[in-house]
């Protein structure tokens, strides 16, 4: 199976990317092909709502999404060539990072193509906060994406109390991320 890990952390060595590394390790050991897309460090412009795409592409913008002028390169091509997408984000004000949200917003130019693929999906996130309600808004958003885009959810790793990479490295979530990746077989 081809898996795209779409990471939205501006901290390349931060807590959410630590969990992503463990997920990738497990997924590769299970025989999957995994691509890591560092969306936070790509050149991706926000959706302008111009609707020139007609919700079916191409996007009017020319950036690393690769959907401009009908092109199939970039992040768009990676997503459409995958069997699964894994959303990785630190929790920022109870939602995904702006960097990841920018990519998700740009799905509108090719969401029909995504919907027809019936891809698998997963969510990996971390938060400093450890209250039981910490991830409610993020998981509701993710579940809405799953429903709208016809994804098949394979699981979530929600790292409560993972405010620093050291805290995360000592947490049970490292093993959870690894096991989620390891459980995936094409």
pLDDT tens for the chain, 186 residues long, are 999 999 999 998 999 999 999 999 999 999 999 999 999 999 999 999 998 888 887 888 888 888 544 444 689 999 999 999 999 999 999 999 999 999 999 999 999 999 999 999 999 999 999 999 999 999 999 999 999 999 999 999 999 999 999 999 999 999 999 999 999 986
- Residue 102 and residue 58 in contact, taking contact as beta carbons nearer than 8 Å: no
CATH of the domain at 172: 3.40.50.360
The domain tally of the chain equals 1
Q: Mention every residue, 6+ apart, whose C-beta is less than 8 A from residue 144.
A: none
User: Around 56, how many Cα atoms within 13 Å sit in the side-chain half-sphere?
Assistant: 2
d(CA 18, CA 121): 19
What pLDDT score does 186 carry? 67
CA torsion angle 61 64 68 71 (round to 10) = 180
pTM above 0.85?
Answer: yes
d(CA 40, CA 14): 12
What are the angstrom distances between the C-alpha of 51 and each of 57, 109, 114, 138?
Answer: 9, 8, 18, 26
Specify the DSSP class assigned to residue 57.
S
Domain of 39 in residue numbering reads as 2-182
């Amino acid at each position: 199976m081809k898996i795209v890990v779409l990471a939205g952390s501006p901290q390349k060595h931060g807590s959410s990317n630590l969990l992503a590394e463990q997920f990738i390790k497990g997924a590769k050991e299970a025989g999957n092909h995994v691509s890591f897309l560092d969306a936070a460090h790509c050149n991706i412009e926000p959706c302008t709502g111009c609707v020139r795409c007609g919700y079916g592409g191409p996007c009017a913008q020319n950036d690393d999404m690769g959907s401009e002028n009908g092109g199939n390169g970039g992040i768009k091509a990676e997503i459409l060539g995958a069997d699964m997408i894994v959303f990785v984000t630190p929790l920022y004000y109870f939602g995904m990072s702006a960097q990841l949200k920018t990519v998700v917003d740009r799905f509108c130019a090719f969401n029909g193509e995504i919907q027809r693929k019936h891809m698998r999906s997963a969510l990996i996130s971390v938060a400093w906060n450890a209250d039981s309600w910490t991830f409610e808004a993020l998981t509701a958003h993710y579940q809405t994406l799953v429903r709208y885009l016809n994804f098949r959810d394979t699981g979530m790793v929600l790292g409560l109390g993972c405010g620093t990479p050291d805290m995360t490295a000592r947490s049970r979530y490292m093993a959870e991320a690894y096991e989620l990746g390891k459980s995936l077989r094409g």
